[in-house]
Amino acid sequence: MKNYWLLLVLLLAICPGCVTQYRVTLANGSYYTTYGKPHFDKAKNRYVFKDASSGTEQEIPPLAISEIAPVSMHEKPKTEFLPSTSK
């Protein structure tokens, strides 16, 4: 019986580290950060996820989303204009 409790405590200590944050970037350039990967609800034809900053559930249509990627791998915004280095 002791082994089961030890295993349960060990799993509870490890599992919170398994959740990956995702960044949902919208077509207009704004983004949401989520805990866990957003899932697609076929009945509503929308991606559903919980916003990490506000804790509210969001539903976004696929055409409004430009990228869904882990925070560590999301595409950096491309700058059109670079500052001049000459004086």
**Main-chain phi, psi angles of 62, to 5 degrees:** -60, -30
Q: How far is CA 23 from CA 3, 31, 73, 84, in A?
A: 39, 7, 9, 31
pTM over 0.85: no
| Residue 51 confidence (pLDDT) | 92
Could you give the CA distance from residue 19 to residue 62 in angstroms, rounded to a whole number? Answer: 23
Taking residues 10-27, what's their average pLDDT?
74
At 72 the pLDDT is: 80
Structure confidence at residue 6 as a pLDDT band (50, 70, 90) = confident
Q: What would the pLDDT profile of 32-72 be if each residue is shown by its tens digit? A: 999 889 999 999 999 999 998 898 999 999 999 999 998 88
Residue 61, C-beta contacts closer than 8 angstroms, at least 6 positions apart: 45, 46, 47
Q: Indicate the fold that domain 18-73 takes in CATH.
A: SH3 type barrels. (2.30.30)
Q: Could you tell me which residue, 15 or 30, shows the higher pLDDT? A: 30
